[in-house]
Amino acid sequence: MSAIVTDQFRILNANNFVESVENTNNSYYVFIGLPNPGGSGTLIGYGRTDITSWNQQTPAPTDSFSYRSHSSDTMMYGKKVSSANIRRIIRRVDWAAGNKYEIYRDDYSASNPSPITAANRLYDANYYVLNSDFKVYICIDNGSSGTNPKGNVSQDEPTFTDLEPSKAGNSGDGYVWKYLFTVSPSDIIKFDSTEFITVPNNWATSTDPQITAVRENGDSSVNENQIKHVYIEKGGTGYANGLSQEVDIIGDGTGAKARVDVINNTITDVTVSAGGKGYTYAIVDLGTLNSNVSSTGQAKLIPIIPPKLGHGSDVYTELGTDRVIVYARFDDSTKDFPIDTKFAQVGIIKNPTKAGTTSVYTDNTYSSLKALKFTSITGTPTIGEEVQQVLQLSPNTGKVANGYIASYDVDTKVLKYFKDRSLNYNRTTLDQQDYIGISTDGRSYGFESSTGANNVKGVSSTFTGSIDSNFSGISTNPTGNKLINLGTNFISGLSESEINKGSGEIIYLDNRPLIVRNPRQKEDIKIILEF
């Protein structure tokens, strides 16, 4: 049996995703992680490679529970995705003088590909354009016919916002355009792309006057499946000469009519004089003009069926919005995202839970890192290196707590770190293979901050730091004249992740060449999801 997943299913999935993000019961976050994807010539641990290979041939993530769990462990910071930061998108097709554009047709397929792009479906054809003022138009007519299937070059840029299809100028290029919407200035700035156009999120409910006018014009009893164009595939021979001869357009709708020009017994032009309504198929009735037509001289006129209801009623279906763009900005406006970090993974997580609870985390940002606050430190910690502390308190006396550095703030003396299985696996084989000391080194231990606790040491940089067991709270004033918010709450010099380990569902994951930040850097992350 042959079957397909239709384009409408893909559009539905994109719509469902946007609606899920906009649902206040859900929390979606763009996150960054993995500040140490590799070392110089040596492997660091599970899910990593040497840094040269990682940067030049970045490995694809693995879609497994194990890999996603590891990605959760190496996650550092998350930024909530709001309705303002997600949009449906379509391919960008810019209008330019001298180019040809395809007409909207309801019957592009593998057996009837579009004439210019050879697209097997409407949504891959270049049947819409973005003009220089970021207005989007559907091409209703391009002067094409069976004798000129690719149509004419476009000479007049469409700029109007009329509700009905119109010519753009007086060049006579044969183009008729239908205005749909204008991309908002904020979307242009936030989602700027050379490849995609953003489509308004709330088309069905928007109160924007322009959107409302286009939507209601399309979604009306007047425009319900109203025919706008008839394509002349074959002009035929033997038809009664005459200009503007009115004939009926018949089918499962009612009321449509066309005016037909016949010159030298061949149909040369067809203009829709009344669009009617309710058509899903249509036929031009040439019975009054064809008394002398032979079986070999019959014309073939194809009325183009518009989207259900009409052009502009549902732009998601009309334009095929099966892609979504998600935007997030990471900067130094919050201590959750320090200026000195690195990262090599970007992802999206749904509904992580607040640490120590079963409630969905809802704040605008989160830190999934643990942290240590020092009273003093000697040396300079290196991002990505391992840190260790020999424990003193029973029952873990002599055991070693460890982690990987994600950030160190010299002003606040706060070191942020994470732990993953790389610290406890066999350091040679990078997996569960047996090794000497596995009974202790294979376990994960937390840092301690009791009075007289051992210093924390860097494995590669050899820095040493003493944990401030007397510090508790979320802010500090190290110089006496500036209160600094640390982003997370500390108890006796130790801070935990703001979300529960392993909570939420990672629904998107992308490995990237290592990105090293500088103090003035901002990261604008744009993730495109195709359904």
Query: Residue 341: which domain range?
Result: 1-90+318-368+498-531
Say how many CA atoms lie within 13 Å of 40 toward its Cβ: 2
Q: Which of 317, 345, 379 is the last residue of a domain?
A: 317
Sign for the pseudo-dihedral over CA of 210, 216, 217, 219: positive
Does 42 score more than 60 pLDDT? no
Tell me, yes or no, whether 198 and 185 share the same domain: yes
User: Tens digits of per-residue pLDDT, 375-411?
Assistant: 999 999 999 999 999 999 999 999 999 999 999 999 8
Q: Are residues 266 and 152 in the same domain?
A: no
User: And the tokens for 241?
Assistant: 């000469």
DSSP 139-175: EEEES-BTTBTT-PPP-S------SS-B--SSS---E
Could you tell me if 106 and 209 lie in one domain?
yes
pLDDT tens digits along 1-25: 678 899 999 999 999 999 999 999 9
- Asked if 386 and 503 sit in the same domain, the reply is no
* Whole-angstrom distance, CA of residue 155 vs CA of residue 174: 9
Number of Cβ within a 10 Å radius of residue 451: 7
Give the residue from 70, 129, 68, 79 showing the smallest Cα distance to 101.
129
Please identify which residue in the block is written with the tokens 């500036």. 482
If residue 74 lies in a helix (H) or strand (E), which one and from where to where?
A: helix 65-74
pLDDT at 231: 97
The 8-class DSSP code of residue 529 comes to E
- Tell me: cis bond preceding 395? Omega within 30 of 0 counts: yes
Could you tell me if 349 and 368 are in contact, meaning their C-beta atoms sit under 8 angstroms apart? no
Domain boundary among 304, 330, 354: 304
Number of domains the chain is built from: 4
**For 72-96, what is each residue's pLDDT tens digit?**
999 999 999 999 999 999 999 999 9
- Same domain as 518, residue 446: no
pLDDT band at 144 (very low <50, low <70, confident <90, very high): very high
| pLDDT > 80? residue 511 | yes
334, pLDDT greater than 70: no
Confidence of residue 218 (pLDDT cuts 50, 70, 90): confident
Measure the CA–CA gap between 266 and 237, rounded to whole angstroms: 5
pLDDT band at 480 (very low <50, low <70, confident <90, very high): confident
Whether 327 and 392 map to the same domain: the answer is: no
Sheet containing strand 323-330, strands side by side: 196-199, 86-91, 323-330, 523-530
Q: Does the pLDDT value for residue 158 go beyond 80?
A: yes
